[in-house]
Amino acid sequence: MNIIDHTHDAAALSWVASANDLATDFPLQNLPFCSFRRAGSLEPWRVGVGIGDQILDLTGWGITDLNALMGRPSSERLALRHRLFDTLKAGAPEVELVPQAAAEYTLPCRIGDYSDFYTGIHHARAIGKLFRPDNPLLPNYQWVPIGYHGRSSSIVVSGTPLRRPKGQVKPPDAEVPVFKPSARVDCELEMGLFVGPGNALGEPFGIDEADEHAFGLTLLNDWSARDIQPWEYQPLGPFLSKSFGTTISPWIVTMEALAPFRIPFTRPEGDPQPLPYLDSPAHRANASYDIGLEVWFKTPAMSEPTLLSRSNLRHAYWSLAQMLTHHASNGCNLRPGDLLGTGTISGPAQEEAGSLLELTLGGKQPITLPNGEQRTFMLDGDTMGLRAFAEKPGYRRIGFGPCDGQITAAI
């Protein structure tokens, strides 16, 4: 997965004209996977690869189950990438494609289990300051990758509306809680890591083996009900405040495509270094990723979405490899298609925040939108969109497609 080869050559072009547009998310150097069918049809879902504004159907390639592909060794997945590249590069015989505009999407694979981590230290500190001004960062945060087991059944693909959740809410001045629709629905700017081959029950793997078990990344919005969350999360963690929905992009960008954008993993001077099972020279050399992240927002009264914030995956305090290794370190078996969320990836400045809770200082400082409307949290009909891209001089820009979700009225 660390290999940079001819498939990353920025000069390589495709016979698909839209893939050569410098603004596309899906140039020849990307080749992300999805599960699609023609819009409005009852056709079976098929595995596809994005190229420009088109999709290459892999049914004729004998690839009918993305989970099965995820379970194959990385060497076989790399060989498939080379074959796809050769099929779609300029000069190769043209084959039939499906326009993305004529397709509809479902979740890219079967997601058996979903775990959400808390790797964004700037988010953790900002949230901690709101609730624990004297002790914003809990003492275990810099020693152990914090996570909780989420609900895979409520993961939905980009564009799927989500109902405003109901739950128990206890205002600070109330004697008893009430059951009501959440008034503080929030987004969380995350990336999701899809597991590759995985490990057998009782058989953990080392930090330098983790790359073999990473298939690819997607955009992920772990929706949160901020007024339900503080009442229910003690002592066992999030529950109904999170399980009403998680939105992901329909596209999985492979780790092979992201090889040029790996950067060294470092810790700030004076911070504890990871314990030995989460550390190695090879890991320190290139375990982080330089991937730009954006939060976009649109109300029903707006004709176009507006950019709320920018961040970067490089701000994650724990790496993808550490997430995988720690998850399996007790013998837990990870399986092809399992999904690990990074947690909210905020930058050090407030304008780099990945949640409305941070951007509005806990709802105390409303955001003024370009049309004059104001928001602290999401109202019915509002749409939140996440975007991500990896770019570096000398390489083509790699995008992740849309991760959009609209909040509708509670029932």
Distances (CA, A) of 329 to 112, 150, 379: 19, 19, 41
Distance CA 320, CA 171 (A): 37
Q: Which residues are known catalytic residues?
A: 123
Helix (H, G, I), strand (E, B) or coil at 134: coil
Kindly state the tokens that stand for 268.
């700030």
Pairing of strands 367-368, 262-263: unpaired
Q: For residue 178, what are the β-bridge partners? A: 169
Contact call for residues 33 and 49 (beta carbons, < 8 A): yes
Contact call for residues 184 and 298 (beta carbons, < 8 A): no
Angle at 153 between CA 150 and CA 156, to 5 degrees: 100
Q: What single letter denotes the amino acid at residue 291? A: I
Helix (H, G, I), strand (E, B) or coil at 237: coil
| Cα 384 versus chain centre, distance | 14
Distance CA 406, CA 1 (A): 35
Tell me whether the omega of the peptide bond preceding residue 99 falls within 30 degrees of 0, making it cis. no
